[in-house]
Amino acid sequence: MKKKTLIAKLFAFALGSMLAFSACSFLPEKEPVEEVEEEEEEEELQEIELSDKKVTIEIGETVEVEIDNFDDLKKVKIEVDDEDIAEAELDDETITITGLAEGKTTLIVSAKEAEDVKLTIKVTAPEIVVPETTIETGKYVCTYAIPNAIWDETMGEDAELFIDFLANKSFTLDFIMIINEDGTATLSYGYETFVKDLLDYLDENYIEFMKLACEYAGEEWDDSFEEMCLEVKDEMMEQFEDELESEIESADATSIDLTWEIRDGKIYFKPDRGAEIGCEVRDDGSFIISISADELDTDMFGNYLDLHFAKA
């Protein structure tokens, strides 16, 4: 037998190694053991049941929403996203919602171990209903109580005397409004009643007036003056009446012409000069109109005069 050489030994070792490797490569791989992780069971949240999920209300209006399963819930709470638009109160299972301002917001209802639920709130402005307005044509009268300022304006130097003399007597002045069917109107002074009442009062209290006039003149009253005053009474009363009539004629000449129309539940008057004036017509058919000194062409009533007219 021949002795193996070193090269032959190495070749044999290499061949054996290759065979061994090939044999191993054909063996089935051992499958790894899968680790089974136990999934934690998620706790199921309870559902909050509402009678409504969306509400629409007007400003100032309230609405109630019920939590249908309130008895099954714990620690129920509510919250409104925008409290300027709406507010809400919880009383057991009832949510009371009040509209505050126009807009939209959300109410959130929460409870322990329950999923939050949202409710949409829409708040609208109340619908404006314009009442149907009508007004009768014809004559309207406003009876105006004359203040002391009028006597100051009209009586000049004698104003203080007349205010003192008339301290216990009230006088009124009638304003007349004529409303025509053609959309025109006229505002004027009705002095007739005022003049009659003033002259009657002066006639009935003539001697008392003369005594007071004597006092204001710095003269001491003497009983002999009474006969003298009575002798000139008729002349004096006639002169006073003429002066009043002159004032009346001047005032009547400055009566105001207006146009009018019904619009938006009001009656609107438009003077020849000045701005349009809107007046509410009351259930009894009366109305109040505010007239400026410029429109009256006199400031003896102040900057503005509020006149309440009723059907004559």
First to last CA, the chain: 160
Q: Say how far apart CA 128 and CA 304 lie, in whole Å.
A: 30
Amino acid at 229: C
Which residues are CB-contacts of 142 (< 8 A; sequence separation ≥ 6)?
Answer: 174, 175, 177, 307, 308, 309, 310
Say if residues 300 and 153 touch (Cβ distance below 8 Å). Answer: yes
Q: Which CATH number fits domain 46-124: 3.30.420.40, 2.60.40.1080, 3.40.50.720, 2.102.10.10?
A: 2.60.40.1080
Model confidence pLDDT, tens digit, residues 234-292: 988 888 888 777 766 665 456 789 999 998 888 999 988 778 999 989 889 999 998 88
**Which single residue is written with the structure tokens 């006088």?**
171
For the chain, the domains span 46-124, 138-311
Which helix (H) or strand (E) element contains residue 199?
helix 192-204
- Over 70: is that where the pLDDT of 223 sits? yes
- Of the pLDDT bands very low, low, confident and very high (cuts 50, 70, 90), residue 25 is very low
Tell me the pLDDT of the chain averaged across its residues.
82
| Alpha-carbon distances, residue 92 vs 27, 67, 87, 249, 310 (angstroms) | 73, 9, 17, 77, 55
What is the maximum span of the chain, computed from C-alpha positions, in angstroms?
195
Give pLDDT, residue 138. Answer: 94
Q: Helix axis angle, 233-252 relative to 192-204, nearest 10°?
A: 160
Of the ranges 17-31, 33-47, 120-134, 190-204, which one carries the lowest mean pLDDT score? 17-31
pLDDT digit string (tens) for 74-121?
999 999 999 999 999 999 999 999 999 999 999 999 999 889 999 999
Going by pLDDT thresholds of 50, 70 and 90, the confidence category of residue 191 is: confident
pLDDT higher than 50, residue 27? no
Q: Sign of torsion, CA 145 155 149 167? A: negative
pLDDT of res. 170: 85
